[in-house]
Amino acid sequence: MAAAAGKKRLTVLYGSQTGTAQEVAERIGREGRRRHISARVLALDDYNVADLIKEDLVVFVCATTGQGDEPDNMKKFWRFIMRRNLPAHSLQQLSFSVLGLGDSSYPKFNFIAKKLNKRLLQLGASVLQPVGLADDQHDLGPDAVVDPWLKELWEKVFAVYPIPPGLEIISADERPPARYKIIYTDSPAEESSLEFGLPASQQAPFFATLISNDRVTASNHWQDVRLVKLDISGSGISYSPGDVVMVQPSNLSDTAEEFMSFLHLDPDKNFTLQQTNPDIPVPRRLPRPCSIRFLVEHYLDIQGVPRRYFFELLSHFTPSELEKEKLQDFASAEGQEDLYSYCYRQKRSTLEVLQDFPQASANLPFEYLLDLIPAIQPRAFSIASAQKAHPDEIEILMAVVKYQTKISKPRRGLCSTWLSSLPSRSRVPVWVKRGTISLPLDHTVPLLMIGPGTGVAPFRSFIEERLVPVHEGSKCVLFFGSRNKNADFFFENQWKELSETGCLSVFTAFSRDQDDKIYVQHRIREQSSLIWDLINNHRAICYLAGNSKRMPIDVKEALIEVFCKGEMSESEAEALFAELERTRRYQAETWS
């Protein structure tokens, strides 16, 4: 049945960790408005969950992070919607659709979207469109699923909200209004809009003082890895082993200057933003008034790879038919392979794309920058210290991301490059969130830790918590892998000292120190008797941290072999591994 006249409202709620789910949610909002539907787009934790009982039509766009975890900006919503005491038919008036954004290289692919879809059905809601499961690993990225899913969604929405007689879908060729109105002002710019005196969070980070960011790999080693030490004295921040520190980075000054120079922006000009759509609030992170320099240095992700809507919107500003045709091709469903080759495979930045389309850039109004370019997202780092051992510090083991593509200029990781470039005494905005791995309360439970490369970071926090000073009866076993003993053996001296207590055993795999490459999975197989004894007879907890690509699969296969050597059949070994995962006796924290 069609909705009553005058009640054409769609609510789009998203849970986003890196910004991709937010971008898709905003796309749905834009497409809804082109269809004459009032569309409100909000992060799930910015939405009053009690209002769900009043909604008719909601689209949820949810990412899955870590090992099947919900994004930070939907944690409050998640806790509420999963409460067991919610009435079974409390959402029977709600029609909904769930679109998941995930990565099939992770074991719990799109876990949050699947679980949310199931939970909403349990609460009596009805599905408008079956759950969509987009995959970052697809050659064309998430859009390979998002595009056809949205096409079907709008067909079903029209059955509920038919377009009023005499109206048509607003053409994508028509330039949309800017999200905000810019009001220039002579009033002095504020330095920050952040709130102080509150518990550290994304809205109110604590500005930690940088103590040092020393390189811990050899000067001739291929990778620059830093041990970053941050002073959190007076912050009130407390953290547990396995927790994660969030860092809000800024653009490098030279990149920001190049961007402002190219677009002929006056960095000292001040402005305020005025809301033009009641459903689109002004960003809380921007001070009022704000300088153009602050906007470009601290807010706009000009070093990020632009997403598809960037090209669609930019096409409206070029007088060049050649540029317009190319931009519209990149924005089309048919042009996604070309866009991938041009932009995503090369990791071409927003600034570089603007430079490739000079006529569009020359005609780009300043007020559209906030529509074109998303905000810089915070980065997560495993904490590599125990607060017990370092009461006023947070330490990070961080690889500085730098790599080459076909573009002559090397690609640089925004946060790692920025953080490694800071001099001591610099201020770094941080807050802490709970990690996906955690220590057992019983300190006599043995810890079996597998952490190649910078994956060893959280296990340093575990070991310091257990062994500085030593807990009687504690047993820690660490498997560590890297390329060379003399180049990237992180925390070698600390491990040597703690090993002398008899409570820590370290097994190393240096892949390039001999002709045959040796990795942690080889050492696991070699120590099968020890591992089987710890898991089978001493109820050890097994932890894994590191790169999410091939390593977790290789480690799982090695552990299955260990279980088989413990006189299990292969099916029994697989069942044991699944049971360890279910009971959190196997915990993993991986990243791509």
Q: 520 among the known binding-site residues? A: yes
Q: 400 among the known binding-site residues? A: no
Q: 99 among the known binding-site residues? A: no
Q: 336 among the known binding-site residues? A: no
CA end-to-end span of the chain, whole Å?
45
| Neighbouring residues of 533: CB distance < 8 A, sequence distance ≥ 6 | none
Q: 64 among the known binding-site residues? A: yes
Residue pair 253/294 in contact (Cβ under 8 Å)? The answer is: no
Q: 7 among the known binding-site residues? A: no
Residue 154's nearest CA partner among 62, 59, 61 is: 59
**How is residue 385 written in tokens?**
């210290």
Residue pair 437/466 in contact (Cβ under 8 Å)? The answer is: no
Q: 554 among the known binding-site residues? A: yes
Q: 66 among the known binding-site residues? A: yes
Q: 454 among the known binding-site residues? A: yes
Q: 379 among the known binding-site residues? A: yes
Residue 384's nearest CA partner among 224, 241, 497 is: 241
| Neighbouring residues of 74: CB distance < 8 A, sequence distance ≥ 6 | 14, 15, 43, 44, 45, 62
Q: 318 among the known binding-site residues? A: no
Q: 107 among the known binding-site residues? A: yes
Q: 105 among the known binding-site residues? A: yes
Q: 126 among the known binding-site residues? A: no
Q: 511 among the known binding-site residues? A: yes
H helix and E strand count, the chain:
21, 21
Residue 59's nearest CA partner among 18, 100, 104 is: 100
| Neighbouring residues of 286: CB distance < 8 A, sequence distance ≥ 6 | 193, 273, 294, 295, 299
Q: 521 among the known binding-site residues? A: yes
DSSP per residue, 398-439: EEPPEE--SSSSPEE-HHHHHHHHPPTT-EEEEEEE--S---
Q: 17 among the known binding-site residues? A: yes
| Residue 271: strand pairing partners | 184, 290
Q: 382 among the known binding-site residues? A: yes
Cα–Cα distance measured from residue 61 to residue 271, given in angstroms and rounded to the nearest whole number: 32
Residue pair 372/310 in contact (Cβ under 8 Å)? The answer is: yes
Cα–Cα distance measured from residue 317 to residue 279, given in angstroms and rounded to the nearest whole number: 25
Residue pair 294/202 in contact (Cβ under 8 Å)? The answer is: no
Cα–Cα distance measured from residue 504 to residue 290, given in angstroms and rounded to the nearest whole number: 53
Q: 185 among the known binding-site residues? A: no
Cα–Cα distance measured from residue 322 to residue 299, given in angstroms and rounded to the nearest whole number: 31
DSSP per residue, 214-259: EE-S-TTSSS-EEEEEEE-TTS-----TT-EEEE-----HHHHHHH
Task: Compute how many other C-beta atoms are within 10 angstroms of the C-beta atom of residue 488.
Answer: 22
Q: 21 among the known binding-site residues? A: yes
Q: 132 among the known binding-site residues? A: no
Cα–Cα distance measured from residue 103 to residue 548, given in angstroms and rounded to the nearest whole number: 10
Q: 136 among the known binding-site residues? A: yes
Q: 103 among the known binding-site residues? A: yes
Q: 484 among the known binding-site residues? A: no
**How is residue 6 written in tokens?**
């005058």
Q: 104 among the known binding-site residues? A: yes
Q: 311 among the known binding-site residues? A: no
Q: 518 among the known binding-site residues? A: yes
Q: 310 among the known binding-site residues? A: no
Q: 591 among the known binding-site residues? A: yes
Round the CA-based radius of gyration of the chain to a whole number and report it: 26
Strands (E), 47-88: 57-63
Q: 108 among the known binding-site residues? A: yes
Q: 149 among the known binding-site residues? A: no
Task: List, as residue ranges, the binding site for FAD.
Answer: 379-382, 413-416, 591
Task: List, as residue ranges, the binding site for NADP(+).
Answer: 454, 511-512, 517-521, 554
Task: List, as residue ranges, the binding site.
Answer: 16-21, 63-66, 101-110, 136, 379-382, 413-416, 454, 511-512, 517-521, 554, 591
Task: List, as residue ranges, the binding site for FMN.
Answer: 16-21, 63-66, 101-110, 136
